[in-house]
Structure 1
Amino acid sequence: MSTAPTPDNSQDWAFETRQIHAGQNPDPVTGSRALPIHQTSSFVFPDADTAAARFALQDMGPIYSRLTNPTTEVVEKRLASLEGGVGALMVSSGQAAATLAVLNLGGAGTHVVASPSLYGGSYNLLKHTLPRLGVETTFVADPDDPQQWRDAVRPTTVAFFGEMIPNPRNDVLDVETVAGIAHEAGVPLIVDNTVATPYLVRPIEWGADIVLHSGTKFLGGHGTAIGGFIVDAGRFDYGADPERFPGFNQPDPTYNGLVYARDLGADGAFGVNLSYVLKARVQLLRDLGTSISPFNAFLIEQGIETLSLRVERHVANAQRVSEWLESRPEVRSVSYAGLPSSPWHERARKYAPRGAGSVLGFVLEGGKEAGIAFVDALSLHSHVANIGDVRSLVIHPASTTHAQLSEDEQLAAGVEPGFVRLSVGTEGIEDILADLEAGFAAVAAAPGTQESTHERGDRDPATSPADRPLGSTEPIADAGAEPAAAAGTGAEGGPAASSTARADVAAEPAA
């Protein structure tokens, strides 16, 4: 009788194999091949000694589903494998993941350096909520300028924070450069990889120390469950600077004087540096209670099993849509790093050779009225505040997610009155384009929306990118290229500052 490979072998498998098998063997009691849903609040201890050992963190078996659950544990192991981390923590939402990720490094009196090009919920967390807890954030004006990251560091800085492919601006973080600067300063880099997914980019391979995900988006992929992840690279030594990271170096009285950096670090009980991810679990998840239900964990796991297949289709469709939009005279600009016209195209080729994701935006001539008319005319696209669904999604940020901002603040945030955001789904490309065509027809018919339409002079209609073969999956660059061979970016070779660069203002509170 053959024995299924153990999760310890999963790093030898292809990505497509790990997304199905990593972290799980058939259930030892029932033989269930699919992941069982352990819908229980608590777990029976076999004896008093085992119970005591688990509460002392000497045995990592389950105690209570607020902390651990066998269903959730499988999904954590799977995403850690896909991202190349030593461990992961699954929580109730992507917003909870971002909150715990920062608070795990320090509390009142600490400081974060962040890119301003972030998901709006993360921006609001860093700009408005964490300061009430004593955690300040400096947003660099231009995340493409390495010196601005260096200049923002303080003695109290505990982390750099950025988003791999930000939503909705679709610029690309120079993660290798920013990670190097963070490490020079003695702090870890936190990267939100929600839009890229580990199939397109694995930030840990480029120096990131902590990777975040909203599992609600592409990992789950079907708009059915909310959840979030923190993935730990296991490389950052929190014991090297006890003054900067006292929470890792001072005894925790709730665990009989446990010192996380010493007892759970590389030389600790587990032989691998789990200090960050275990501290987040046994301290913050225990006390703040941002736990995910086993059922939601199961739904997100079901999505992860088909991640690569879906993302390939998402990217192929998004590339076609972005090229088609760029060929339209009604469109003034398209924000998508997969386009050669994007200031971040070369950086996308370096970090994401398989494609730049499937969240994009475009600016319509005719302003706000044109944007609203366009969105209201679509029928295949769902008008929702979400991204990463197999269904194509659309929203007009200026009248919804950014409506609380002044016009100047919207412009500083990269949202113009005529800006429309798309999350391109996996439907047939001709159906997607036909639905978008209906939007353009509505704009043409709406009064007062065409006063500034102009032809773009940099494009030959006879060779429009819209003529690409149906379903083309041609990558941005050779997907097999080694990272070291990719074009460099940064202050010297990186993109110039965009005219839509974000300033230090609040951004969208929803997805």
Structure 2
Amino acid sequence: MAAETKTTTTHGFVVSGKKRSGADDRDGADVIMAKKSMLPTAIAAAAAWEDPAAALASARHEFGEHGGVNMSIEASATFTVMEPETMRRMFAGELGPDRDFFIYSRHFNPTVLNLSRQMAALEGTEAAYCTASGMSAISSVLLQLCSSGGHVVASRTLYGGTHALLTHFFPRACNITTTFVDISNHEMVRDAIVQGKTKVLYFESMSNPTLTVADIPELSRIAYDNGVTVVVDNTFAPMVLSPARLGADVVLHSISKFISGGADIIAGAVCGPASLVNSMMDLHQGALMLLGPTMNAKVAFELSERLPHLGIRMKEHSNRAMTYATKMKKLGFQVIYPGLEEHPQHDLLKSMANKDYGFGGLLCLDMETEEKANRLMNYLQNFTQFGFMAVSLGYYETLMSCSGSSTSSEMNPEEKALAGISPGLVRMSVGYIGTIEQKWGQFEKALSRMPDSGLFKN
């Protein structure tokens, strides 16, 4: 296997399994596909994109160095060249990872690049690149798209860290300002765009934590009419929604969440046009290259092994969330879940969602006050083991947090009110461990301990 050359083009990159000399590439030698690559043509890959799981299955499968079914981990920080002239040509941009020439793992690493191809397949974009965290993916994209004096229009309901980045850090450090809008009010979005100045329309496909669903096609039309780039954080809805298919330019992920699934890895991804990804890796002006949020190759290997069963996991997350939301509603709780017909964007989500993945794995209970929220979570964790009081999401156990005092604590009271985050809003990332009957019994057992607490309505 060591002598076999394995090459193909997928999502804007050409990667070979064998080091070649710089001279071999001066005349644009034909790309050879090896018998063990089992790679479809770009046309076949596009046809398979009817479903994100099918797209993942049709993406390149990277075999190990000695023919292993799993790819090898390229743990090297730096890479050799066969001729001295090759290094000069790599730094000049004449040779790169598209022809299997690697300089340094802060630039491109073969193992990370393979995970990036998988993420591009998942989201149906030309290219992708994986980073050390979700926040590094967000900040790097915005810094690549916006210069000093630039302007962003963003949803007023965002993850607290993103809100703080746009509200405090960018104006102070970069002279980039943001206007926050109700993303459901399309006229408000249009009015906030400043011709010639606004560079990005930024929102979450499902908002954190209120689960407002963005009308991605209509928002994309508004942005295109005004020459604005659409950047969507799809962390809450992998497999469920495919923003690039719906009109978005760039799709971001905190891979730490559903994609990882194990609450043990911090990682992010930028999925979008090859031109954008390549510009972000430019040696002179690339935000990813120069800021250096580099993913470790061993982390990339771990994540590439989890992506194949993401679709199965998302279906069960969604199934459980729908079951619990329906039961909680019958008990009289104020439930926010896009799968419920009374959710304001229920029909919108149905019209955009990929078939069979449900409505997502998160639900919210509005307990009105933080005291009631904390009492409920305390019983659910410490008396019946229904779930854990912890931030993050996408774990196999149910994770619960009071958003206003945790993941949205960066926002002031007025900003929380505008975002629709009540003091007692409990965000639940619904897990899939145990049977539904077992876990629901634990929920009911917790409620039986506080019949006179006024936590829910009969």
Q: 1:276 to 1:2 in 2, by over 3 A?
A: closer
Unaligned runs of 5+ in 1: 235-273, 456-511
Distance in 2 (CA, whole Å) between partners of 1:39 and 1:7 is 28
Distance in 2 (CA, whole Å) between partners of 1:368 and 1:404 is 16
**How far apart are 1:355 and its partner, in Å?**
2.0
2:222 alignment partner in structure 1: 181
SS of residue matched to 2:451? helix
Distance in 1 (CA, whole Å) between partners of 2:410 and 2:449 is 26
SS of residue matched to 2:139? helix
Q: 1:439 to 1:371 in 2, by over 3 A?
A: farther
- Are 2:362 and 1:383 equivalent residues in the alignment? no
2:338 alignment partner in structure 1: 337
Q: Which has the bigger relative contact order, CA under 8 A and spacing at least 6? A: 1
2:60 alignment partner in structure 1: 23
Q: 1:404 to 1:129 in 2, by over 3 A?
A: closer
Q: 1:307 aligns with which of 291, 306, 310?
A: 310
Distance in 2 (CA, whole Å) between partners of 1:15 and 1:179 is 21
**How far apart are 1:402 and its partner, in Å?**
4.2
Q: 2:419 aligns with which of 413, 417, 420?
A: 413
1:324 alignment partner in structure 2: 327
**How far apart are 1:403 and its partner, in Å?**
5.0
1:440 alignment partner in structure 2: 447
Distance in 2 (CA, whole Å) between partners of 1:453 and 1:79 is 41
The one-letter code of the counterpart of 1:136 is T
SS of residue matched to 1:306? helix
Distance in 1 (CA, whole Å) between partners of 2:226 and 2:331 is 46
Distance in 1 (CA, whole Å) between partners of 2:55 and 2:70 is 15
1:107 alignment partner in structure 2: 147
Distance in 2 (CA, whole Å) between partners of 1:386 and 1:129 is 23
Q: 1:222 to 1:314 in 2, by over 3 A?
A: same
Map 1:39-438 to 2 at 5 A. 39-60=75-96, 61-132=101-172, 133-140=174-181, 142-154=182-194, 155-197=196-238, 199-232=239-272, 234=273, 274-282=274-282, 283-329=286-332, 331=333, 333-352=334-353, 353=355, 354-364=357-367, 367-378=369-380, 379-403=385-409, 409-427=415-433, 428-438=435-445
Distance in 1 (CA, whole Å) between partners of 2:375 and 2:451 is 9
SS of residue matched to 2:145? coil
The one-letter code of the counterpart of 1:361 is C
**How far apart are 1:70 and its partner, in Å?**
0.9
The one-letter code of the counterpart of 1:275 is S
Contact (CA 8 Å) 2:53, 2:122: kept in 1 or not?
no
Root-mean-square deviation (CA), in Å? Answer: 2.1
What CA deviation, in whole Å up to 9, does each residue of 1:62-105 have, x standing for no partner?
A: 11111111110101011111211111111111100110111111
Q: Report percent identity of matched pairs.
A: 29
TM-score under structure 2 length normalisation: 0.83
1:465 alignment partner in structure 2: none
SS of residue matched to 2:269? strand
Distance in 1 (CA, whole Å) between partners of 2:405 and 2:352 is 33
TM-score under structure 1 length normalisation: 0.75
Distance in 2 (CA, whole Å) between partners of 1:42 and 1:413 is 46
Distance in 1 (CA, whole Å) between partners of 2:53 and 2:414 is 45
Unaligned runs of 5+ in 2: 1-33
The one-letter code of the counterpart of 2:169 is T
**How far apart are 1:217 and its partner, in Å?**
0.8
